Structures are given as C-alpha cells and as structure tokens.
Amino acid sequence: MADEFDPEKFEDKYVHYFNELQRAYKNAFEQMNDRYDSELIHGIDQMVLNESEPFYEDGEFRVELPENPRERLQGVLVDDETFATILDEYVDRIEDELYRTLGVDRPE
C-alpha cells in the first residue's frame, strides 16, 4: 500500500505516483474493456487517454483530455454520441480508480 497521499507530491506525479497512476488507468481499462467493444476501448486508451493528464486540485481528482478527443480516434467506427458517452464513463472510472488506488476519500 502506498504511503499517505500527499497533494504536493502529486504535482510531480510521475516521480512519486507513477505506479499508482498506471494501476488506476489499467483498472479502469479492464473495467471498460469488460463492458464495451474492445476495439473502441483500446482506441480510446491508445489515441485519447495516452495524452490525458490527471490532476488533483481543491481536494478532487480530474482527468484533463487532449484537444479534439473525437478527432484523435482513428480507424474505429463509432457515432459521436456513443463515443462521448463511453469516453465520459471511462474518465469517471479513471477518476474513481485514482481515489481508490491513492487512498483518497472522494468529496461528497
């Protein structure tokens, strides 16, 4: 288990929390891959989320996506509404996993 979460250390997250970040993203990927088309989930993971950035601000985790996430997804047939819905759920799961993996209570 990781030491107690330190918001200041999270500013340098790839030094202090790299393993936890990898685990959170992997856990979210596995959950989404079990529920949805694996080609779509792999595409989102490799073409959109690979450029995402997790932040911890004001007591909350959030995942910032790269610009134009829909345009990044190439070679996967999906309508825009489905893409947006699944991407939103995927980001929510990553954020859930960040709280869980880093042992931080989610704000009410």
Count CB atoms within 10 A of the CB of residue 104.
Answer: 17
Cα separation, 52 vs 59, in Å, equals 19
Per residue in 66-99, pLDDT (tens digit) is: 999 999 999 999 999 999 999 999 999 999 999 9
pLDDT of res. 74 = 93
Count CB atoms within 10 A of the CB of residue 81.
Answer: 8
Query: Which of these, 14, 10, 13, 5, lies nearest to 104 by C-alpha position?
Result: 5
The answer to whether 44 touches 73, Cβ cutoff 8 Å, is yes
Confidence of residue 33 (pLDDT cuts 50, 70, 90): very high
Q: DSSP letters along 64-108, please? A: EPPS-HHHH--S----HHHHHHHHHHHHHHHHHHHHHHHT-PPP-
2 has pLDDT over 50: no
Record the pTM: 0.93
| Token pair 């929510």: residue | 92
